[in-house]
Amino acid sequence: MQSNPQILIIDRDIEHLTSLISILEALSVDISAATTRDDIFALTSKGEFCLAIIVVDLPSTNSYRILELLRREKPAAKLPVILISDQPSDEIFLQNPLGPGPVDILHKPFHPKALLNKVQFYIDIYYQRLEMAAMYNHMLTFNSQLEDLVRQRTRELKEAYDVMEKLDHVKNDFIHIAAHELRTPLTLIQGYTEMLENVITSQPDAIKLVDGILHGLQRLVQVVESLTDISRINNQAFDIKVEIVNLRHLIEGVCRNYEDSLIKRQLNLLTTGLEILPEIKADPIMIHKVFTNLIGNAIKYTPDGGVIQISTREMKFNRVGLAPDNTIHIMVSDTGIGIAPENQELIFETFYQTGPIGLHSSSQTKFKGGGSGLGLSIARGIIELHGGRIWVESPGHDENSFPGSTFHILLPVNRENGPWKIPTSPLSQDILIRSDKR
């Protein structure tokens, strides 16, 4: 429960002092009276007052001196003062008060209500000050608790990060070991299967069985190669074999590898402006893997009858610290199911799957067939190893309206290979593979 505010009355006239106390009984206050200098020292050193009332009755009394004595006491240095006086000379306190505390004057004679109003005014200020002090202390306590909580959470996050980092190392080690250990037996199985195929040339049914084994082996080899690529990217152990690469021929070659799947799924694959692409210095095998993964991804998530487009344009914006004349921008777009905004960065993480694992399919081109979750991670790793950047843009995921996705690839080009050759005529558009091809 909050105690009443304390008021100090300084008055040498006991009768007048009693009268003032009687007036102030209308307020919920505790009153202390001082009639001597010693009383002032004793009272101000013990209690915290919200107001002092100084009464000057005799012309010989120096009210300035009384106020000066009061201000010398540290607890009362900022104490508000009401000076009750009949001396006009005391008006000087309004212009030159001693100390930082406010000074108010009430001239005799006065109505009791005038005194009560003035005292109540300073009581209200006192309560406001207490409330502000309480809020300040609460803020300090809250800030202290918040700092402790932040330190605790920071420690927990660091511990969790350390655990995740260790798990990531374990995962990378597992990928490396698995890829290494599987490669040798797969090579043996593939070799013996091919030898078996040569032995049973006169048995058509057996040849079909062996072809099935070889097809499964080929898929398994591709998975192991992807694991090996991820391991090399994670361990920064990729050996880039740079040579001059004709991107148009490389991309068109990747497209031809998907010709049967495009016809089967009735997908149109269009290319726009590839003829203006300059030759670049890059690892052709690695860049081939990038576009194999991107085009295969577009086929997988585009419904039958949809369109996939590969286009390029001159760089207009400096997005990777490269000037427009030594950067190429290639886009792989589709009219597929799209990618939700919250997944547009996650899809480049190793093993990340956007759909339910239960719908996973080993097919590389079946609609929504799923995959190993390695292709886009490998693509990003390879592009970044070449000093480029890859990202995706999509309005969102919708399997009814098919908003589509666009993967952007930026790759640096050495100036010695020549700047962009901008054609004078509009960019041509070729239909590379049509679904009605026979």
Same structural domain, 264 and 349: yes
Q: State residue 138's pLDDT score.
A: 93
Tell me the pTM.
0.57
Q: State residue 48's pLDDT score.
A: 81
Same structural domain, 229 and 247: no
Under the banding of pLDDT at 50, 70 and 90, the label for residue 423 is: very low
395: domain CATH number?
A: 3.30.565.10
Q: Which of 27-41, 184-198, 316-330 has the highest mean pLDDT?
A: 27-41
Residue numbers of the domain that contains 27: 6-110
Summarize the confidence of residues 118-140 as an average pLDDT: 92
Same structural domain, 106 and 220: no
Q: State residue 391's pLDDT score.
A: 95
Same structural domain, 274 and 414: yes
pLDDT per residue as tens digits for the range 202-255: 788 888 888 888 878 887 888 888 888 888 888 777 778 889 999 999 999 999
Same structural domain, 183 and 264: no
Query: Last residue of a domain, which of 176, 211, 234?
Result: 234
Same structural domain, 208 and 188: yes
- Please indicate, yes or no, if residue 180 is contained in any of the structural domains: yes
Same structural domain, 306 and 418: yes
Query: Last residue of a domain, which of 70, 90, 110?
Result: 110
Under the banding of pLDDT at 50, 70 and 90, the label for residue 429 is: very low
- Please indicate, yes or no, if residue 115 is contained in any of the structural domains: no
Q: Between 228 and 432, where is the model more confident?
A: 228
Query: Last residue of a domain, which of 234, 257, 281?
Result: 234
How high is the mean pLDDT of the chain? 81
Same structural domain, 275 and 305: yes
- Please indicate, yes or no, if residue 147 is contained in any of the structural domains: no
Same structural domain, 213 and 256: no
Q: Which of 73-87, 119-133, 264-278, 371-385 has the lowest mean pLDDT?
A: 73-87
Per-residue H/E/C for the chain? CCCCCEEEEECCCHHHHHHHHHHHCCCCCEEEEECCHHHHHHHHHHCCCCEEEEECCCCCCCHHHHHHHHHHCHHHCCCCEEEEECCHHHHHHHHCCCCCCCEEEEECCCCHHHHHHHHHHHHHHHHHHHHHHHHHHHHHHHHHHHHHHHHHHHHHHHHHHHHHHHHHHHHHHHHHHHHHHHHHHHHHHHHHHHHHHHHCCCCHHHHHHHHHHHHHHHHHHHHHHHHHHHHHHHCCCCCCCCEEECHHHHHHHHHHHCHHHHHHHCCEEEEECHHHCCCEEECHHHHHHHHHHHHHHHHHCCCCCCEEEEEEEECCCCCCCCCHHHEEEEEEEECCCCCCHHHCCHHHCCCCCCCCHHHCCCCCCCCCCCCCCCHHHHHHHHHHHCCCEEEEECCCCCCCCCCCEEEEEEEECCHHHCCCCCCCCCCCEEEEECCCCC
Same structural domain, 264 and 324: yes
- Please indicate, yes or no, if residue 360 is contained in any of the structural domains: yes
203: domain CATH number?
A: 1.10.287
Number of domains in the chain: 3
- Please indicate, yes or no, if residue 121 is contained in any of the structural domains: no
Same structural domain, 251 and 103: no
97: domain CATH number?
A: 3.40.50.2300
Same structural domain, 192 and 259: no
